Amino acid sequence: MSLEQDLKRALRRESPPEGFAARVLQRIERENTRQRPKRWWRAVAASLTLTAVLGAWGAKTVHERREGERARDQVLLALKIAGEKVRYAQQEVRTIGSND
């Protein structure tokens, strides 16, 4: 009998104390605000890393392009000078040949 009463007492429906729901909601809100800065900093760090990587890659590409275009101009200039000298010599040889 005593056990039955104990169980009834233990399992009886009880209303939560006043303000319980509000406190639960407040706690959830606190947890959320505590986690938000972490996510924000992660996003910032990822963006900065991505920007740095893309920036370095872009700078390298620009540098390589400049070097390549400079080399290309130098090649064209060198071959133009060489071509001019060879053509001059060929013309002189032809002139001498036609005078003979």
Partner 1 sequence: MRKSILALFLLSALAIPAWAQSIKLDFPGLADRADEIVDVTLDAQMIRLAAKFLDNDGDEREVREMLGGLSGIYVRSFSFSKEGEYDKGMVERVKSQLGPSWKPIVTVRSRTKENVNIMADVRGDKINGLVIISAEPREFTVVNIVGNIDIDRLSRLEGEFGIPKFTTRDGSHE
Contacting residues toward partner 1, per CB under 8 A: 64-65, 67-69, 71-72, 74-90, 92-93
The nearest distance, CB 53 to partner 1, in angstroms, is: 24
Q: Which residue lies nearer to partner 1 by CB, 36 or 80?
A: 80
Give the DSSP letter string of 33-85: HHHHHHHHHHHHHHHHHHHHHHHHHHHHHHHHHHHHHHHHHHHHHHHHHHHHH
Q: Which residue lies nearer to partner 1 by CB, 31 or 64?
A: 64
Virtual torsion, Cα 33, 34, 37, 39, nearest 10 deg? -90
Cα 39 from Cα 37, distance rounded (Å): 5
The nearest distance, CB 79 to partner 1, in angstroms, is: 5
Q: Which residue lies nearer to partner 1 by CB, 2 or 95?
A: 95
The nearest distance, CB 68 to partner 1, in angstroms, is: 4
